Amino acid sequence: MTTSPNQKLYEGKAKILYSTGAANILLSVFKDDATAFNAQKRGTIQGKGAMNCTISSHLFRQLESAGIPTHFVGQLSENEMQVKAVTIIPIEVVIRNLAAGSLCKQTGLELGTLIAPPLVEFYYKNDELGDPLLTRDRLLLMKLATPDQVDQLANLALKINKILTDFFEDCGITLVDFKLEFGLDHTQQLILADEISPDTCRLWNQSETDPSRRVMDKDRFRNDLGEIESAYQLVMQRVLAHSI
């Protein structure tokens, strides 16, 4: 189906989706707006849209070349990405290699505790409910996905984690944890969607030992650590300098 171009279809916290006129292809425009704690904290990170779009585009290309199906079509400008249209599955898939964030708060595990094998968790993508942690049974009860799709989500998430952990290791960065979103394309294939950026990953600079200096991700914004733009910029420089 061909739609008329340049129609705003959806505006989220970090991106706006437009129609393109081409069948099953949309334009995702990355914004500088930043939110945290379920949008209770709001701000702007100068140049974030461009940096996240560029980082995500590069990571999607790496994943595609490693055989992971994604919604990435191409980067059109510094903050515009062409993507395949998908129906988003309203589940946030979180993968954890080291304990941080809500896992530490809810379990008492110490920040940085090694999690091996990595943990795969499902959260309900629903701001009104505060994105609650789901069990597999609840997820099936709510019919958010089929049992097959849940297995596929977990398998894909672990594969992506292996690829990205090795990739970031080459960049001198530890991939602590991250969030993925998946969707179904027009052929009903399950593909990786959304973005992979310092907004959605915890990334620690291996050249820094100080716990606040090593943070290269949105925790700098969440925890008022300052120097957010330069941290994102360093992630972008290192990511662009590496390929798998």
Contact pattern for ligand UDP over residues 80 through 119, marking x by CB under 6 A: ------------x-x-----xxxx----------------
Q: Which listed residue (32, 90, 124, 131) binds ligand UDP by CB under 6 A?
A: 131
CB of 47 to ligand UDP, least distance (A): 19
Between 145 and 196, CB nearer to ligand UDP? 196
CA 96 to chain CA centroid, nearest Å: 13
**If you ran DSSP here, which 8-state letter would residue 129 be given?**
G
Q: Where are the beta strands (DSSP E) in the chain?
A: 8-11, 15-19, 25-30, 33-36, 41-44, 72-77, 80-84, 87-88, 91-98, 114-124, 133-134, 173-184, 190-193, 201-205
By beta-carbon proximity to ligand UDP, the closer residue of 71 and 202 is 202
Our finding on whether 201 is near ligand UDP (CB under 6 A) is yes
Tell me which DSSP letter residue 110 carries: P
Alpha-carbon span 186 to 67, nearest angstrom: 19
Task: Please identify, among the stretches 22-30, 48-56, 109-117, 177-185, the one whose residues bind ligand UDP according to the rule CB under 6 A.
Answer: 177-185
Interface region with ligand UDP, contact rule CB under 6 A, candidates 64-72, 157-165, 172-180, 185-193:
172-180
**Six-digit token string for 66:** 């490693």
- Residue 33 binds ligand UDP, judged by CB under 6 A: no
In the 8-state DSSP scheme, what is residue 71? S
The CB density around residue 9, as the number of other CB atoms within 10 Å, is 12
Rounded to a whole number of angstroms, the minimum distance from the CB of residue 33 to ligand UDP is 14
How many residues of this chain bind ligand UDP (CB under 6 A)?
Answer: 14
Among 236, 242, 239, 220, which residue's Cα sits nearest to residue 41?
A: 220
Pick the closer one to ligand UDP by CB: 21 or 130: 130
Q: Which residue is nearest to ligand UDP (CB)?
A: 101
Q: Which residues bind ligand UDP (CB under 6 A)?
A: 92, 94, 100-103, 131, 177-179, 200-202, 218
